[in-house]
Amino acid sequence: MVAKTALPSIPESIGEEQKRRAWALWESIGAPKYHVAPMVDQSELPFRMLCRRNGSTAAYTPMMHARLFAEDPKYRREFTTCEGDRPLFVQFCAHDPQHLVKAGRLVAPHSDYIDINFGCPQRIAKRGNYGAFLMDDLPLVYELVSELVKGVYPTPVSCKIRVFPKLEDTLNYARLIQSAGCSVLAVHGRLREQKDNSATRADWDQIKAVKQALSIPVLANGNIRHIQDAQACLDYTGCDGVLSAESLLVDPALFNPRRLEPEGGYTVLQGCQLVQDYLRLCEQYPAPIRMVKGHVHKMVGPWLAEHVDIREAINTQSAQLTIQDYIRHMDELVERVRSNGRAEPIPAISQKALLRQAAEEARAAAIQEQEREASALANLDAFERLDQVNSVETAAQ
């Protein structure tokens, strides 16, 4: 992984005023330890509120495309928040500072930090030149951060990154972002190429080194499967907080202090109660059905593997289902679970088949997201071409 352009000059340390402000801002929101990580189509408002009710002390929005957010009112409507949805990090991906600043200004009144995603490793990020693929263009990284800092002041800016293979490169990268004005840095301890989190352990040593090298709050991301992992990570790295993503999808109460009690560990029975709570929140704070379906499968997937008729009803009718339909299906599932008296499901579908179905669903969801973004970009390009034509005709007149 080699930068395409020359690395900007990186100061060894930041000024006392920047350091003081970064920590004052962090303390002003309660120095939160337990964060809902940004997840495309999965860290939406009702899920954030479910996690907050169960121990999470801060949350990120899903990653949003800055250009689409700045120019497409329909796209903007998927960003929702409410009273109690704080502290809130609103995350954007971008490669154009002007679009990023415009999007940031729109959400500044509703956020505690505006976050830049420098960590997405997916193919769509490579095609769109954002996320972890900006690690190849560090001057642009610096420009994005510094321009957003100036453009949305006094709202602070945070960033989320992945690590380089060499620690020295990671430290230079982190210092560069800090010097550009970042107030909080979240470090995912995996390489850009390591997309399968379940197959690769995050590198806490790199995260620890970043924490020791910087003067601003640093958050750790990776290997946080339960609350004991969170405490172990904080103790080992010295970081100021942790983020969890995939594990939190399965157990939204992962950060609940009750999980530390002898009888407080997660059970699939608790997943049934959590999914019911989530759906009730969706009634209050509507979310796209594609997001709802993903959460239902994550929280009660093992029980759906036993009660395959409910699973099939959800999968085959997903385009037509409403929140009320999901509530009805999950109420039926919970009633069956309670009546059978078992704490664990007996899958009617083999683990191999479940994994295959999960992979197919994940691919379908990824394709749908890419098509949605491509369609929105195409519409914007069409509008821009129309504007250009109108401008030419006006000038000709």
pLDDT value at residue 348: 86
Asked which of 36-40, 193-197, 277-281, 352-356 is least confident by mean pLDDT, the reply is 352-356
Choose the CATH number for 16-260 among 3.20.20.60, 3.40.50.300, 3.30.420.40, 3.20.20.70: 3.20.20.70
pLDDT value at residue 6: 58
Whether 382 has a pLDDT exceeding 50, the answer reads yes
For 192-239, write each residue's pLDDT tens digit: 988 777 778 999 999 999 999 999 999 999 999 999 999 999 999 999
* Between 350 and 12, the higher pLDDT residue: 12
pLDDT value at residue 25: 98
309 exposure class (CB count in 10 Å sphere: 0-12, 13-18, 19+): exposed
Report pTM.
0.87
Which DSSP helix (H) or strand (E) runs through 218? strand 218-221
For 333-373, write each residue's pLDDT tens digit: 999 999 988 888 998 865 556 566 666 665 655 555 555 65
Q: What average pLDDT does range 280-291 have in this prediction?
A: 95
Residues with catalytic roles: 120
User: How far apart (Å, rounded) are the C-alpha atoms in residues 50 and 37?
Assistant: 14
**pLDDT confidence tier of residue 391, bands split at 50, 70 and 90:** very low
Domain boundaries, the chain: 16-260, 268-340
pLDDT value at residue 392: 41
Whether 129 has a pLDDT exceeding 80, the answer reads yes
User: How far apart (Å, rounded) are the C-alpha atoms in residues 59 and 52?
Assistant: 8
pLDDT value at residue 266: 79
Q: Other CB atoms closer than 10 Å to residue 235's CB: what's the count?
A: 9
- pLDDT averaged over the chain? 89
